[in-house]
Amino acid sequence: MDAGSGVKKHKIDMTQGPIMRNIFLFAIPIVIGNILQQLYTTVDTLVIGNYCGHTSLAAVGTSSQPVEVLLCIFLGIGTGVSILISQYIGAQRSEQVKNCVATANGFVYLCGIPVGILGWILTPAILDFMGVPADTREAAQIYTRLVFCGTLGNIGYNMNAGILRGLGDSRASLWFLVVSCAANIILDLTFVAGIGMDVSGAALATGIAMYLSWFVSVAYIRKKFPELGFTLLPRKLHKEELRRIIGIGLPIGLNNSLYSFGHMALQTLVNAQGSVFMAGASVAGRITGVAGIAVQALSAAATTFSGQNFGAQRYDRLRDGHIRIPLANGLVTFAFAMMLIGFRTPILRIFNKDEMVLMYANRYVVVMLFSQWIYAIFNVMICLVNGTGRVRYTTIVNVLMLWAVRIPVASLINRFYDGTWVMLCFPISFSFGLLCMIGYYIFCKSWREILFQEVMPERFTDRILFLKKLHF
């Protein structure tokens, strides 16, 4: 069977039909899936907040940052896989779809095992760097190390989710998460509320559930896309495909990793305010994370839309979508954020009853949610550019937004004003990122050439040669 024929039966074709209809159809399963992913950390916070002390709650909140630093670079590689596959689908390159999928599967093991071991070893040094308070240190170390043990399953699931998004199938990941989220809730209640394992039980529950979602995703791909020859264990790495995956995914991954490292640096400023403020920020993160669900879903849809239409040379559709999709994301995110602001207090009380914790959490939520729409617009603009393989400028923008704006502003707030208002650095950096992407849209000549050309330039008559030149 031809790889392309099997794929078409299960995908949303972004190169045909109403643009926003396809975007929302593609995004809806991701929205539900992201809600379930938020439920992972929310259940941990809810159970620990009600059955353990505020130091355990602070430990869970601060421990997520170092894990993300090492994982994000490889999750960026998964985004690169999604971009390449979507371009190959648009260009009808069935053999290269198979090779890319096989290479991505091998890459999971090549990275997942070393990262898990490295994370376990470096945990004490990472927590020292973050300035974790003494009353939170032991719980944070236990939680971080156990979460690193789930690295292979985490990378494996996210790589497979990237493969499926590139194929145009966004619904499957939802069912994987339904299974794993149900397992996480049951295990959380068993290990923490039932057995009393505290943060170690929450970490074990999350890790086991993530491995389960990985195994389910492998089984799904094998059943629905047998023409891809997908296996649990790796079989072959194609050097050319690996070079392309790294060429697109590594800049995105490094950007994500630097971004998470920056968040870890910001966490040191949060930690400097004490465990009560840490707990408030951790609780607030559960609400602000939910508000970002639409951003992530429509951004993933935008990447696939851009990749498929770029590969199919549908520059007219790229031109139509490059304004409409960001504006839609901004409007949806703003509406959702305003709703959450209205109900923030009763929601926060579910997680913790301490009045000081709730005061800090309320402040954090309001500042973040009022600015979330800015992030929604510029992030989708970045994803549309990334979908064409042009990742250098967007990487630079993200790095500058974090290291030249957000962290310096946060440090100034902490030093000269009040460290419990450190979250004000986010809306300032979001605004900087939006201005940079508007400038790119208006003034970048090569981007304008892509949007306004109707046929492939003569000097790039071979489609794959054209893609290579843009990627590398």
What are the pLDDT digits (tens) for 279-337? 888 788 778 877 777 788 888 889 889 988 888 888 889 888 888 999 988 998 899 88
Indicate the SS3 state at residue 431: helix
Q: What is the mean pLDDT of residues 370-386?
A: 92
Please tell me the predicted confidence (pLDDT) of residue 455: 42
Q: What is the mean pLDDT of residues 360-378?
A: 90
Please tell me the predicted confidence (pLDDT) of residue 82: 83
Q: Are the C-beta atoms of residues 38 and 290 closer than 8 Å to each other?
A: yes
**Span 237-282, pLDDT tens digits:** 888 888 888 888 877 777 777 766 676 677 777 877 777 887 888 7
Token reading at 366: 């309001």
Greater model confidence, 454 or 338: 338
Please tell me the predicted confidence (pLDDT) of residue 108: 86
State how far the Cα of 294 lies from the Cα of 436, in Å rounded to an integer. 22
Please tell me the predicted confidence (pLDDT) of residue 358: 86
DSSP 192: I
Element housing 283 (H / E): helix 275-291
Please tell me the predicted confidence (pLDDT) of residue 325: 92
The least confident of 30-44, 68-82, 276-290 is: 30-44
In a 10 Å sphere around its CB, with 0-12 CB exposed, 13-18 middle and 19+ buried, how is residue 445 labelled? exposed
Confidence of residue 471 (pLDDT cuts 50, 70, 90): very low
State how far the Cα of 371 lies from the Cα of 359, in Å rounded to an integer. 19
- For residue 33, pLDDT over 70 is answered with yes
State how far the Cα of 353 lies from the Cα of 44, in Å rounded to an integer. 16
Q: Are the C-beta atoms of residues 170 and 29 closer than 8 Å to each other?
A: yes
Please tell me the predicted confidence (pLDDT) of residue 130: 74
Distances (CA, A) of 249 to 84, 151, 165, 472: 9, 18, 15, 12
Indicate the SS3 state at residue 378: helix
- For residue 362, pLDDT over 60 is answered with yes
- For residue 446, pLDDT over 90 is answered with no
What is the SS3 assignment for 224-255?
HCHHHCCCCCCCCCCHHHHHHHHHHHHHHHHH
Element housing 88 (H / E): helix 54-91
- For residue 465, pLDDT over 70 is answered with no
Q: What percent of the chain has pLDDT over 90?
A: 10
**Span 411-445, pLDDT tens digits:** 898 888 887 888 888 899 999 999 999 999 988 88
State how far the Cα of 340 lies from the Cα of 286, in Å rounded to an integer. 11
Q: Are the C-beta atoms of residues 15 and 312 closer than 8 Å to each other?
A: yes
- For residue 183, pLDDT over 70 is answered with yes
Please tell me the predicted confidence (pLDDT) of residue 2: 44
**Span 39-56, pLDDT tens digits:** 666 666 777 777 776 777
Q: Which residues contact 216 (CB under 8 A, 6 or more apart)?
A: 175, 176, 179, 180
